[in-house]
Structures are given as C-alpha cells and as structure tokens.
Amino acid sequence: MEQMYAYKCTKCGKLHHPRYVVCQNPDCDGREFTEVPLEGKCKLLTWTRVYNLPEGYMQPWLHFGVVEFENGVRVTGQIGFDEGIESGMELLATVGIVRTRRILYKESIDCEETGFVFVKP
C-alpha cells in the first residue's frame, strides 16, 4: 500500500509537505528530515468542484479539497464522494490511484499516479 509523508526537520522540528531541500522555517537552515506518515483524521478547510478536467479523465467533474491534519500539516487531494461535502467536516485521508496516464512512445505504458483521496469516516 502506498503511503504519503510529511517531513520533519531534524534541526527545528517544523513539518513540511511536500519535501523541500532546505527547511522552510525562516530561522532554520536544516537540510535533514525524518518521514512522518500522513494518514487518518483530518478536517476539510475548503473545497471546489472542477469541471474542466485534463485529458484522460472520463468523468464530468472531480472534487478537490484542502485539509488539515491533527499535526497542523495542510495538504490537497481528491474528495472521494459527491454528496454532503461541507467545509469544516471531519474526513479520513487515504492514499489511492488518482489518475492513470497513458504514455505513448515505442509502446503504450499506463502510469498510475497516487495521491490523497479523502473519504467520510
């Protein structure tokens, strides 16, 4: 199973997502990080429905949201349901296939891209 991570600066303790080369704390210049799994409970801060999807999506729309985990890390991802979406609601963060991309070169290759999918608890 795929896993998504935040990255904790070993010098100051600031959590980052995604990973950066240098800590984003203005008072720190740390360059070493430890992985902290991002999963479980989160709160939906805001969301939107996108109708004009890129090539390869065979759906009329997708919902995307910004959530905050209990440790304060904020991330974006797909909302995995259509009804009853409200800002402030509690969700569970899972990791799943969010898109399959077909690469055409000498032969066809399907690349699965994973990301956050937020679901109701």
| Same domain flag for 27 and 77 | no
* pLDDT exceeds 80 at position 108: no
* pLDDT exceeds 60 at position 92: yes
Q: Can you give the pLDDT at residue 56?
A: 67
| Same domain flag for 7 and 51 | no
| Same domain flag for 20 and 55 | no
Q: Can you give the pLDDT at residue 111?
A: 76
More confident residue, 111 or 87: 87
Q: Can you give the pLDDT at residue 2?
A: 80
- Range(s) of the domain holding residue 32: 1-37
**Among 7-21, 23-37, 43-57, which stretch is predicted with the lowest mean pLDDT?**
43-57
| Same domain flag for 117 and 58 | yes
The CA dihedral of 3, 73, 90, 50, to the nearest 10 degrees, is: -80
Beta strands in 3-107 (DSSP E): 4-9, 15-16, 33-38, 40-50, 62-69, 74-79, 90-104
| Same domain flag for 26 and 44 | no
Fill in the DSSP letter of residue 53: P
**Among 13-17, 72-76, 83-87, 103-107, which stretch is predicted with the lowest mean pLDDT?**
103-107
| Same domain flag for 15 and 46 | no
Number of CB atoms found within 10 A of residue 15's CB: 17
| Same domain flag for 98 and 61 | yes
Q: Can you give the pLDDT at residue 43?
A: 98
| Same domain flag for 5 and 48 | no
| Same domain flag for 11 and 47 | no
The total of structural domains in the chain comes to 2
What is the mean pLDDT of the segment spanning 78-82? Answer: 94
